[in-house]
Structure 1
Amino acid sequence: MLPAERRKRILDEVRQTGGLDVVSLSEAYGVSKSTIRRDLNLLDSQGMLQRVRGGTIDADPRPYAQVVTKAADEKSKIGHEAATLVEDGDIVLIDIGTTTAAVAQALYGRHVTVLTASLAVIDILRDSPGTELIVLGGVVRNSYLSMVGSLTSHALSQLRADIAFLGTSGVRDDLVVMDSTGTEVPIKHSILKNSTSAYLVASADKFPGSGILQICSVSEFDGVITTATGPIIDSISSSGVQVIHP
């Protein structure tokens, strides 16, 4: 069994039972306790569950307030670089996430139309002079200041954006863009499908980052806006996808 599949099954089990210990998981999957600990640490770092001494407990994704402060200066630089790609009058689709929220912050005061399911983006732009804000709707996920579900995807299917900015939990060595939350994946697919151009915005820690759910190949994007350097970034450039550094 591949590690990603094992982690997905562990997460499903934890959600069903409310908690499992390292020993039982090690026996169930035929791997060492150290391997299980690494799996749990990764899932915990993604906000998919919380670890407690001797076991695990299920939890909502890590609160937005905890994530938004991580690499804040880096995200701000990425956001400002992304905003330079937006022209006045554009219809801009902004994904859920903390780096995408930095894009919204950089667009404050711009004469654009913004479509979003991010409560954080709404909060940033709700009094932005000259900005038209369209809320996509959906089921509110308080912990991550977002709206998700079929209503969000349906709303996206009725709209068309000039440019979109999407986030990720990680980009693998094989250039597959990943996520950690199943309810967000269909929304990202809808954003890509209904945008004339789309850019991935990601801080350096997202290469390779984390994630157990595949979104798409990085080739689906027109460009990647990041402060990161290294082998994965070199591979992205070699694949023909534009890499933009702030």
Structure 2
Amino acid sequence: MSENQNLLAEQRRTLILDEVRRRGGVRVNELTRRLKVSDMTVRRDLDALARQGVLEKVHGGAVPVSGASTHEPGFEAKSSLELGAKEEIARAAAAMVAPGSAIALSGGTTTYALARHLSEVPELTVVTNSVRVADVLHAARGADGGTGNDAGGGGRAGAATVVLTGGVRTPSDSLVGPVADAAIRSLHFDVLFLGVHGISVEAGLSTPNLAEAETNRRLVRSARRVVVVADHTKWGTVGLSSFASLEEVDTLVTDSGMPEATRTEIGDLLPGLELVVAGGGTGDAEGAR
């Protein structure tokens, strides 16, 4: 863990959360020594992370959230985590999108970051079950004076046509359930960009939300190519319901925080999976089979 006393609050909290997940718990006095900050600063960081629902405070420290397999943090809580990593991933994933293609974006904060990078790709058709993703793309469509509210809205020439599924809204602002499933069932995408709650070799892709799991299964079945966008903290996390195996994934785009040993493990166990590591905040990516 870094000992730079000038770390920003977001960076400190990311390091604290990584340590909690890696070790299964941390003590306040350990964090003050390693981060070279005051006891009060550490306690404020733990309070903030506890409010986001990503760890649980205990006497003298913190532990991972209880019942993590069923806990679903809200969009705002997740959006404040791993911001740099999500931007790395979003830039690398956006470079994979060809003009004129039909793509799908699932719900999630990483796909939300990706949506912000798609405004310069012309003539896209984007199907999404994410209210947040749809809002970003509609705003981009209307940025040059158009309404941005429908396919015929007269927005910026070449801007994406956005298809938002119906459904029941989840804490992460995704639309799921029978209405969403029925809409997706009849569609076909060139590429699906899929955000996940957790990813592992054994459990594959998983989520705490049973209805979201079924909607994600529909998205996977409708896609010619499946690209998972997941920061390094998602590796090893397992939600209540699995909805796809890693063998169903064509490409995993992750960030440079993924340990080299884990990358090697993925390559050894899943030789058919393309691993793209977005590197160093430069927007470049390196691929490995």
TM-score (norm 2): 0.63
Could you tell me which runs of 5 or more consecutive residues in structure 1 were left unpaired when the two chains were aligned: 1-37, 49-60
SS in 1 for 2:169: strand
For residue 119 of structure 2, what is the amino acid of its counterpart?
Answer: Y
Identity %: 23
Partner of 1:96: 107
Q: How far is 1:108 from its partner?
A: 2.0
Partner of 1:106: 117
Higher relative helix content: 1
Partner of 1:236: 266
SS in 2 for 1:126: helix
Partner of 2:67: 43
Partner of 2:243: 215
**Structure showing greater Rg:** 2
Partner Cα distance (1:234, 1:175) in 2: 19
Task: Check if 1:245 corresponds to 2:277.
Answer: yes
**Structure 1, residues 25-58: CA drift from partner, whole Å, max 9, x if none?**
xxxxxxxxxxxxx8x82425x672xxxxxxxxxx
Partner of 1:115: 127
Partner of 2:207: 179
For residue 123 of structure 1, what is the amino acid of its counterpart?
Answer: D
Could you tell me which runs of 5 or more consecutive residues in structure 2 were left unpaired when the two chains were aligned: 1-62, 142-158, 279-289
Partner of 2:77: 66
For residue 216 of structure 1, what is the amino acid of its counterpart?
Answer: A
Partner of 1:159: 187
Partner Cα distance (1:173, 1:83) in 2: 25
Partner Cα distance (1:180, 1:47) in 2: 5
Task: Check if 1:133 corresponds to 2:162.
Answer: yes
**Structure 1, residues 211-244: CA drift from partner, whole Å, max 9, x if none?**
1211221110111000123444323223220000
SS in 2 for 1:245: strand
2:231 alignment partner, one of 195, 198, 203:
203
SS in 1 for 2:67: helix
- Contact 2:210 2:240 (8 Å CA) reproduced: no
**Structure 1, residues 6-42: CA drift from partner, whole Å, max 9, x if none?**
xxxxxxxxxxxxxxxxxxxxxxxxxxxxxxxx8x824
Partner Cα distance (2:106, 2:195) in 1: 7
**Structure 1, residues 43-95: CA drift from partner, whole Å, max 9, x if none?**
25x672xxxxxxxxxxxx32211111100111011011111111000111000
**Structure 1, residues 94-147: CA drift from partner, whole Å, max 9, x if none?**
001111111111112322111001011011111223111011111233x32221
Question: Structure 1 stretch 175-184 or stretch 215-224: which is displaced more?
Answer: 175-184
Partner Cα distance (1:243, 1:186) in 2: 25
Aligned residues: CA RMSD: 2.0
**Structure 1, residues 159-178: CA drift from partner, whole Å, max 9, x if none?**
11110111112222436222
Partner Cα distance (1:200, 1:64) in 2: 18
2:177 alignment partner, one of 149, 166, 182:
149
TM-score (norm 1): 0.73
Partner Cα distance (1:62, 1:235) in 2: 29
Classify 1:175/1:183 alpha carbon distance in 2 versus 1 (closer, same or farther; 3 Å): closer
Partner Cα distance (2:185, 2:207) in 1: 21
SS in 1 for 2:126: strand
Partner Cα distance (2:277, 2:102) in 1: 23
Classify 1:150/1:120 alpha carbon distance in 2 versus 1 (closer, same or farther; 3 Å): same
